[in-house]
Amino acid sequence: MLSPRRESDARALVHVVRSAFRTIGRRDVSVSAAELTYFAGIAIVPWLLLACWSTTWFTSTSTAQTRLLDLQALIPPDMGGRGPFRTLVGAGVGLGVVGALVAVFPASFYGEGIRRGCLSLLPTADRLTGWRARLAMLPLLLVVPPLAIAVIHLSSVPLDLAARDGLGWHLLLIVTEFTITWLALTIPVAWIYRQVAPGSLRWPAVLLGALATASFLAGFLQGFLLFLSIPVDVGVPFGGLDVVGGTVALGFWLFLLHLVLLSGWVVTVELDELLRPGAAA
């Protein structure tokens, strides 16, 4: 038997989820996610390049490149994902100050995509949507370097596990990768929900929503790694054009991730309403 307090909390949580699903049901969340995925197509590579470049701030370029290339051991080789990763790392560590300043502009488009995607789910009056959202994304540039460096240092654990054989070690590798990804994503997701998305959500709801959403995002990213371990030719439906097949596959996974991100924001909005004073009544 649950205590009255826990039973009340459980009912409140069910109410939040049901209300969020009703909101999502009234709108076509897939269209909102597709809109956000379009903006992500512009911004995702610049963000990754900036993350790679930031690892060169506190060490030599060659050392940073070596550490980043070590991470390719965590990428399944079956679908050729390691080649594009090496190309990305090479371009990222050699970006330079001028290249980084230029990359900031397309990277900021991700903020516009998020705000427009959220507004299509919960329409409200909003002025200067694109510029406000892009400027709100820029402070994340200060978060990227410590997160990138922390992930590299923590990656020594999954790299050691990846070198071991056995089902138990493999399961432990998945749990470790999930945990690192979950914690790394929580900070940017919280900022996005609080500052980039429309509305003035309060920090308690934002932190709870970000923790929950980041856990689902981390799970989907583990699913993407599993997808990369499947030895299929993604270019077959496109006349053997592997570049086209790989781009479509990546776009599909980005679409799924943005479905989760936007749905998590709607749940966070409902949670914020529940936690406001007087909402319990």
- Dump pLDDT digits (tens) for 125-163: 888 888 999 999 999 999 999 999 999 999 999 999 998
| pLDDT classification of 25: cutoffs 50, 70, 90 | low
Average pLDDT over the chain reads 89
The counts of H helices and E strands in the chain are 11, 0
At residue 102, does pLDDT exceed 70?
yes
User: Alpha-carbon distance 15 to 25, whole Å?
Assistant: 15
pLDDT digits (tens, 9 = 90+) for 121-131: 888 888 888 89
> Within 10 Å of residue 86's Cβ, how many Cβ atoms?
15
Across 194-207, b (16+ Cβ under 10 Å) vs e yields: bbbbbeebeeebbb
| Distances from the Cα of 14 to the Cα of 7, 17, 19, 29, angstroms | 11, 5, 8, 20
Report the pLDDT averaged over residues 209-230.
93
The predicted pLDDT at position 277 comes to: 67
pTM: 0.90
Determine contact, residues 263/24, Cβ cutoff 8 Å: yes
Report the pLDDT averaged over residues 29-54.
94
The predicted pLDDT at position 12 comes to: 66
Which contiguous run of DSSP H or E holds residue 141? none
User: Alpha-carbon distance 152 to 256, whole Å?
Assistant: 26
| Residue with tokens 């979950």, as numbered in its chain | 182
User: Alpha-carbon distance 164 to 106, whole Å?
Assistant: 40
At residue 22, does pLDDT exceed 80?
no
Q: In the chain, how long is the greatest CA-to-CA distance?
A: 63
The predicted pLDDT at position 273 comes to: 85
